[in-house]
A and B are shown apart, each in its own frame.
Chain A
Amino acid sequence: MLYAYSATTFGTAYSQFSDRTSTNEDMAKERFAVLSIWSSTNQVNATVMNYGEIDIMLDAAYLNGIRVLSSGQLKLSSGQLISLKFTSGTAIQQGKTYVLIIVSKRGTTVATSWKA
């Protein structure tokens, strides 16, 4: 009984630790960058590159704090590019600076300042 209890306790603790560490490790391997952003009226196009060591899922994008992309996780393989097209809630004003934040499923965020 004592052994069974101990083994279960140790196993559960290790499993939780292992899962948490694996998640952290995968998150640490994530790297992506926004290569370019351009717009026409309220349509915005952003090119994102995954230069990390692991495939990523893009989960959301925020333009000046407003969620503009929630298409449900776009997969981006390591070394590849993806073009994100989304509609801004308001018309993009020429000369104004915007901040685009892209969030991966694992929680990595990349913020890019962009002058329209």
Chain B
Amino acid sequence: MQLRGRLREDKGGVGTLIAAVFIIMIIMTGYSLSLLTSNKNQEYYNTLREMSDLDYARSRENISIKDVRITTNLKLNVTAENDGPEWAIIKWIGLFDKTQYPERDTYTSVSYSLSPGELVKGMGSSVSVSWGKNYVVQLVTDKGNAIVQTFYPANSVKCKLELLALPSSVYIGNNITVLLIITHNQTQPDYIQNVTAKLTVNPPGSVKLLQGPQQISILGLKSGSSAFFKWIYNATQTGTIYFNASYVQAPQGTYTISQVVSKVSQTPGGGSQVTITGPSTITSGSLTSYTITALSQDGSGVPYTQITVVASNLNVNIQGVGGDLWVPKGAITLPPPPGVIGEAGATGQLAIQISLTAASGTTFTLYANCGTAYSSMTVTVR
């Protein structure tokens, strides 16, 4: 009996123990799964946070295309700036050829990193392009943002032209400055591939080109911006000069041509410019060279340029020695002052030599005139 009783008690204890173990195992299993669930949840929320950060960064990305050009080896040259607060990576460059039908698009894989505020030039050096096609250029970032700019040739854009000829009326021999402003005032395209200024003068021989624009072609003219061109001409004959401006491949129409008139007249008195160059001091008893540059406006040689020396009680010897339009008169010795020693017609230079014997500090005046224009120089003997 005792034995049975102990056995029953022992069995009851073991059963309780086993039940407790199973309950603990069930609880631990539940707890483990609860931990796993919690971890999985955490992973999910981490992913949501990461993607939310990505979306936020994407929304703050701000890339702008500053310039689009075609290089000499027919590659694309894009300048872009990161105006946003985030780093940006250009992952693809898309190029759409709108001149083809159906249009053709190509995407080239690239990798350009732009820090905030950074300007990167020369993007697209592996993208081949041709002149004269209507292109759309697209930069695609690794965050999926796309920046698009249109890039057309000049024949698709009606630019605004402004032409100035200054002064509007000049005397013969004066310079005329011609300014041409080509403004891309259309909303499309964003860039003109190439703008080459064109200026014609009528009658062609009425002016002589002294200086042309440093750059006759502007690459990548942006919408809203202007290109400036300057020419300097010298008026060589009287009459009305017409300047007509346009640009290469400009669409037909009067809006592409601007005409401006400059009137050239003869200077009253014939001469407009005469200058004397040479030393202001000479050595007594030795020959000293001077050059007189004269401009006679009527082109006929009349009136002549005259060289005169005004000197009192001095024996001044003046002789012409050359010059492209010199009419030799031979040497002349003054006094009596004043004296004419040479003549020149039209535009040209006169080379003269002067000698005199005088005390140091003696002065005399060299005087040259071309019609009513004159120039003088006071010379002192050393």
Chain A residues engaging chain B, CB cutoff 8 angstroms: 2-3, 6-7, 10-11, 13-14, 17-18, 21-22, 24-25, 28-29, 31-33, 35-36, 38-40, 43, 45, 47, 49, 51-53, 79, 81, 83
Contacts and interface: CB of A to CB of B under 8 A. Distances in A.
Given A3-B26, A31-B51, A21 B33 contact: no
Interface stretch (B39-47, B342-350, B371-379): B39-47
B16 to A, nearest CB: 15
B212 interface: no
B324 interface: no
A11 B51 CA distance: 30
B37 interface: yes
A114 to B, nearest CB: 13
A64 B41 CA distance: 38
Contacts of A31: 51, 54-55, 144
B22 interface: yes
B33 A35 contact: no
B88 to A, nearest CB: 12
Interface in B243-299: none
B220 interface: no
Interface residues of B, number: 34
B135 to A, nearest CB: 13
Nearest to A22: B40
Nearest to B46: A25
Interface stretch (B96-104, B225-233, B328-336): B96-104
B33 A38 contact: no
B102 A10 contact: no
A40 B102 contact: yes
A79 B102 CA distance: 27
A51 B91 CA distance: 10
Contacts of A29: 47, 51
A2 B140 contact: no
Nearest to B50: A53
Given A51-B142, A81-B92, A6 B29 contact: yes
Contacts of A32: 144
Top 8 closest A-B pairs, CB basis? A51-B144, A40-B102, A33-B144, A6-B26, A14-B33, A10-B33, A3-B22, A25-B47
B275 to A, nearest CB: 67
Interface string B34-75: 001100110110011011001100100000000000000000
Contacts of A22: 40
A115 to B, nearest CB: 13
